[in-house]
Amino acid sequence: MRFTEDTLNRIRDENPIEDVVSEFLELKRSGKNYRTLCPFHTEKTPSFFVSPERGIYHCFGCGKSGNVITFLMEYKGMTFPEAVRFLAERAGIAIKGEEEKNLDILKVLEYAGGLYHDTLLEKPRGKPGLAYLKKRGVKNDTIVAFKLGYAPGSQRYLIESALKEGIKRELLERAGLVTEGRDKFIKRVMFPVFNTAGRIVGFSSRVVDDSQLPKYMNSPDTEVYKKSNTLYGLHQTRGDIRKEKLAVLVEGNLDLLSVWQAGVKNVVASLGTSLTDGQASLLSRYARNTVIFYDSDDAGLKAARRAVDILLKNSLGVRVAVPPAGYDPDSLVRERGIDYGRFLKTTVDFLEFVINEKKIDNPDDKVVLINVVRNILSLLNDPIRMEVWTGEASKRLGISKSLLAVGGSKGRSTERGNYVDVRSRVEAELLGFALKDKSVWNFVKKSEDVIQTPAIKEIFKEKITDSEGAMNRIKPDLRRIVGEILFTERGKGEELEVTNCLLKKLRNWDIKSNLKTMREMMRRESDQGRLKELIIKYEKMQREARETI
């Protein structure tokens, strides 16, 4: 979904970064900037700065940097469109045209959620749903916190209510609430599914009478809802997950509600289905580690085993808690309660879980297990984690580390993020100095032909001179470099001198590259006349290079 530059500029202008950040963090004035402990890494001395003048933030500890939109994406786990919509609503800005096509669907879903919730708590028709939830031990506070509802037995309950409010049937169908002229959800407890911006995007449901099938039913994928990219309860629990740096992962909605109201608030559910890459990727925005807490039956154990691979692949730490035989998390917590500290002590790491799961009766079984473990280790993107867990697996399986080797790391793990090549780093530094001072911008602009990084080249080409707008155009690793330059105080003369050195460095690299290309052409040239021309041109380039250097 695309937003016009005018829309983005207005949204940024009417949402001062210091106001938005202060809604989540306690800011203290530090000269012309604000300062606080960084929310993205653990520290004792504040190194996270917010600049009202430039509309950006930067952490000198971990390097995180960006504007008000990227802050919400990083801190709240929102997508770019979600962050833009959040800020637009916060400032009372109406998003027009193509950008508001899904807003009507979201409003319809919000209406349905409110109707189902009011029916459950306020209307006689809601009594079967309320009785079912009470029977399952769900408390009133939990019902309100998760906005649970009830869809009664009428096949046109929602349709008729919505039509009276002027809501078109077409929107109800696009929202996945109506199918073939009747309500999709009938005689069901309703569990609204929220996105990370706090908007209802779909529903999960359960019948109150087990004779009715199917027992569980979810909204279909729509323009605003993709089940494979959504986690139930994340909107309500992400703050606790971020605080603990750990998420307890359950399968069902009722599992989550029981665990949550028993005091374990850092819990999410995979909407009753096998965990997906999209869900694990979403979870990784908030947690570093996970505990899989699925049912103890065969289906639950198999689902837990699949989840191990998916979570590891998304760079999450993984432990597993298996309820006693015959229990699921919901029934276990309702019968015995849960003590979070003791609960964590009963968990096992992913390696122990996989080894315990495999029955070994003969050497061939062990060969199979070793290959399973080897495949799991190959999912680890961090070379340090891979080294540590390979050593651990070697000890537990009684084989050499070399037999578990998987051919090197697939990724690069650093606290500062992905690798940035040297040229892009220099060009990002140039951009930082240019954004700080108009005269430096003009100086760099005259030599923009030496810039090769596409996003930075585009910024100079389109003359995007404001820091907020430029931050939107570049990737996080380049934002870190630009942010550090913008927040580091230097004298104007020093900045011009450094800028000149950076430009000279880029020109020298280009000259050396051109000379190398010319030497290769001379080596391959067989025509003596053409070779002589190339030699003359090469010598001229060498003289120009010496003058430049």
Residue with tokens 């769900």: 138
Residues 427 and 527 in one domain: yes
- How confident is the model over 244-290, as pLDDT tens digits? 989 999 999 999 999 999 999 999 999 877 899 999 988 987 888 99
Residues 337 and 449 in one domain: no
Residue 407: what pLDDT?
A: 52
Q: How far apart are CA 383 and CA 319, in angstroms?
A: 19
Asked if the structure places residue 410 within a domain, the reply is: no
Residues 336 and 277 in one domain: yes
Residue 531: what pLDDT?
A: 83
Residues 145 and 214 in one domain: yes
Asked if the structure places residue 415 within a domain, the reply is: no
Asked if the structure places residue 296 within a domain, the reply is: yes
For the domain that residue 276 is a member of, what is the CATH number? Answer: 3.40.1360.10
Q: How far apart are CA 43 and CA 179, in angstroms?
A: 53
Residues 251 and 344 in one domain: yes
- How confident is the model over 161-204, as pLDDT tens digits? 999 999 999 999 999 999 999 999 999 999 999 987 788 999 99
**Residues in the chain, pLDDT under 70:** 1, 96-101, 406-420, 492, 544-549
- Burial (0-12, 13-18, 19+ Cβ within 10 Å), 315: middle
Residues 115 and 181 in one domain: yes
Residues 241 and 311 in one domain: yes
Pull the structure tokens for residue 473: 């155009």
Residues 270 and 317 in one domain: yes
SS3 string, 423-476, reads HHHHHHHHHHHHHHCHHHHHHHHCCHHHCCCHHHHHHHHCCCCCHHHHHHHCCH
Residue 546: what pLDDT?
A: 67
Directed axis angle between helix 492-524 and helix 438-445, to 10°? 10
Asked if the structure places residue 412 within a domain, the reply is: no
The answer to whether 507 and 548 have CB atoms below 8 angstroms apart is: yes
Residues 142 and 260 in one domain: no
- Helix, strand, coil percentages in the chain from 3-state DSSP, rounded to 5: 55, 10, 35
Residue 395: what pLDDT?
A: 94
The structural domain count of the chain equals 5
Asked if the structure places residue 371 within a domain, the reply is: yes
Pull the structure tokens for residue 494: 């020093």
3-state secondary structure of 49: strand
Residues 329 and 305 in one domain: yes
Asked if the structure places residue 409 within a domain, the reply is: no
Domain end among 159, 191, 225: 225
For the domain that residue 44 is a member of, what is the CATH number? Answer: 3.90.580.10
Pull the structure tokens for residue 490: 């230097």
Residue 397 lies in domain: 359-404
Residues 526 and 460 in one domain: yes
**Residue 56, strand partner residues:** 51, 67
Q: How far apart are CA 471 and CA 432, in angstroms?
A: 10
Asked if the structure places residue 368 within a domain, the reply is: yes
Residues 166 and 201 in one domain: yes
Directed axis angle between helix 80-91 and helix 5-13, to 10°? 50
β strands within 251-407, DSSP E: 267-269, 289-292, 317-320, 348-349
Asked if the structure places residue 413 within a domain, the reply is: no
For the domain that residue 159 is a member of, what is the CATH number? Answer: 3.90.980.10
Residue 408: what pLDDT?
A: 43
